[in-house]
Chain A
Amino acid sequence: MSSARESVQTYTPREFHRQAHDALGNPQIRANFRRAMDGLMGKRRDVFSDWDLETLRELGASIRLRALAKLPDLLERLEANCQANGIQVHWAENGDEACRIIREICQRHDAKAVIKGKSMVSEEMHLNAHLEEAGIVALESDLGEYLVQLNEQTPSHIIMPAIHLNTDEISDIMHDKTGIERTRDVDYMTAAARAQLRERFMAADVGISGVNFAVAETGTLCLVENEGNGRMTTAVPPVHVAVTGIEKVVEHLRDVPPLYALLTRSATGQHVTTYFNMISSPRKPGEHDGPKEVHLVLVDSGRSNIYQDNELLDTLRCIRCGACMNHCPVYTRVGGHTYGTTYPGPIGSILMPHMMGLEETKDLPTASSLCGACGEVCPVKIPIPDLLVRLRRESVGEGRGNVPGAGVKRTRKEAAAWKGFQWLATHPTAWRSGAALAGKLRALAPSKLGPWTEYRTAPKPAKKSLHELVKRHQAEKAKREERP
């Protein structure tokens, strides 16, 4: 029996087609994702049932757009307010710089053990591997991330990292890696993980977390979570490092409640998460717990490039809820690892090309049927299908050329074919005679058309074109009406 567990391997977006083929042939992966995504879609629908969802999405979109419209001002304000509160702010142009900054903070404290709350930005820059090279052990504490790390994998979903694994597979992982009994008892496994991780929280020298919203007005870092590992990570170790993308800033504290309401409902169908943790400073004199140092590392990694373009800018509205992947028919069938990128699914397909370049990720914008579900469920109304089309245009060199690797899929043959089609379609006489000729030569139409005919029969030109059929029909009708 194939398993989602055995798929321990390196995935890369270059191999999207092969990986998709493998995933489609893996009944375990398909069952795990189908079940999970069906459940998540139902829960989201139910939890929004008594809300004016469109008005709430409109508000969410306006808050994110306002934040982006004022982005440089808000980042300066965030920095000033954080610093006034005693939070140290660092800037990184790319993931490597951010890794170096965090490693140096760890080294200044002679840190050997780091405990991590969930952070996709840290996944984006492969922070764990970087710290490991410096002899610093980084342990994930979100249960899903912990399981994925034990299994030497990467997350397959941005909210539910271990969604590709079922209970039996997780039981095997915990048995093999931590020595607990094999079981199907989820409470037992959860309790075992609690005991294992509590010791690690106490022993950790540094806690590293992400940020869901950074509030410019107050210099506050907001973290959304259910488990309490985020609170542990940010309150137990003596040093807390928060790492996030520069787009996560919002202007006012009052901007937070609508985004939080949208985030939890869109992500997991919860009306609220167990914890909403708002951090505005390190431990103050007289306070008895919490870290004595708090650092905020703000990472660009291509975001300021996306920011240049009025259309692509919408990518930066994202609040990382994962609803687009939960509702994506492609993601549900191939799973998260197939994309070979930190962020899978529709949001990954419009974000990763900017981070990795279209050379690496050229197949991702086409990993969509453009059914539109992602755009319809997006809590901040990102027009994801339009952005997928824009990146397809960029990849064949028909866009503005401001995405790294633009034009990578352009072939002279295809460009000439479309040029020819364009000419034909705008010259009616040539079009009609071409269509008539194709009808006559239909026996010669090729039956193999590359990937198109791998799963489909090739189209054959009709004997008579629709134009001709209509013309004949009208002529016959006129003749009938002439008769008495």
Chain B
Amino acid sequence: MSARDNIFKRLRERADGPLTAPESDFAVVTGRGWGREERLARFERWITSVHGEVIHTSCDAWASALVEVLEAKGIRRLALGREHPVAAEARAALAEGGVVLIDADRDIEAWRHEQFHDADAGLTSTRGAIAETGSLWLWPTPDEPRLLSLVPPIHIAVLDADTVEDTFFDVIERNGWADDMPTNALLISGPSKTADIEQTLAYGVHGPRELVVLLRHREQCP
């Protein structure tokens, strides 16, 4: 008998007999009923409490807000996708400036060293966010691969205010995650951090040292 068979035999032929599964009541992790203002305020409060930076902007002006962030932080080389509207608009806005654009939609084997050593920042879109915990949700794609939000020292994420939901449970249920899980689904709440040296908080231990969220508000859109 294989290890698998042995394990299943022991589990199936349980000495104390079959068990009854209890019911679960999920009310405590949903039904917050927050209005738009409160939802956004909570999102911002929580993500800034873990060192995330939130910049409010509009659908029109976000690309210039991006340019300002790049200037303020001295970012000379930006890794980004190509097809997603966020990447396409950023490319258009940055075409004239002196920022070097690094294509992220390439097999990592071809540019690993460049990604680890040369990119000052990575730009990604987001699918939404969670107000209760101040978390962004990302489903990396061929256009914006997994490591784009992890390896460069600064992660700039573009978030639409309308896509912020109350709780993680709400996000999973309302967006039908269980029917359609991608290769990698991510929640990101702030920059990388550690407290492994005597409980002292330090940022950027493996992933980004900084997380900047460009929060786009729709009412200011055409």
Contact = CB atoms under 8 A, between A and B. Distances in A.
A255 B24 contact: yes
B29 A227 contact: no
A258 B204 contact: no
A325 B203 CA distance: 26
Interface stretch (A54-62, A359-367, A430-438, A466-474): A54-62
Contacts of B49: 271
A51 B185 CA distance: 27
Interface stretch (B69-77, B91-99, B103-111, B120-128): B103-111
B133 interface: yes
Interface string A244-272: 00100000111111101100000010011
A97 B3 CA distance: 9
Given A187-B202, A276-B135, A66 B168 contact: no
Interface in A212-267: 217-220, 226-229, 231-232, 235-236, 246, 252-258, 260-261
B150 interface: yes
Given A186-B197, A218-B178, A258-B26, A278 B169 contact: no
B198 A170 contact: yes
A228 B200 contact: no
A290 B183 contact: yes
A316 B50 CA distance: 32
A467 to B, nearest CB: 42
Contacts of A97: 3
B197 A162 contact: yes
Most chain A beta-carbon contacts within 10 A, residue among B8, B25, B198: B198
Contacts of A286: 142
Contacts of B116: 198, 202
A165 B8 CA distance: 42
A35 B184 CA distance: 38
A396 interface: no
Interface stretch (B14-22, B54-62, B156-164, B214-222): B14-22
B147 A402 contact: no
B169 A287 contact: no
Contact of A62 (B2, B24, B112, B206): B24
A288 B195 CA distance: 32
A137 interface: no
B199 A36 contact: yes
B108 A289 contact: yes
B7 A281 contact: no
Nearest to B4: A91
A83 interface: no
A65 B191 CA distance: 35
Contacts of A149: none
Contact of B169 (A71, A254, A272): A254
Contacts, number: 255
A278 B192 contact: no
Contacts of B16: 308-310, 313
A59 B25 contact: yes
Contacts of B194: 143-144, 190, 226-227
B145 A59 contact: no
B37 interface: no
Interface in A86-105: 91-93, 97
A52 B27 CA distance: 11
B173 A75 contact: no
B186 interface: yes
A287 B144 CA distance: 9
A89 to B, nearest CB: 9
A43 to B, nearest CB: 10
A467 B195 CA distance: 58
Contacts of A227: 192-194, 205-207
A20 to B, nearest CB: 23
A254 B178 contact: yes
11 contacts: A59-B29, A144-B194, A147-B196, A186-B198, A190-B197, A194-B206, A228-B192, A228-B208, A235-B184, A278-B185, A307-B14
4 residue pairs, one from A and one from B, having the closest CB atoms? A228-B207, A144-B196, A272-B133, A228-B206
Interface of B: 2-4, 6-8, 10-12, 14-16, 18-29, 46, 49-50, 104-108, 112-113, 116, 133-135, 141-142, 145-147, 150, 167-169, 172-173, 177-178, 181-200, 202, 204-208
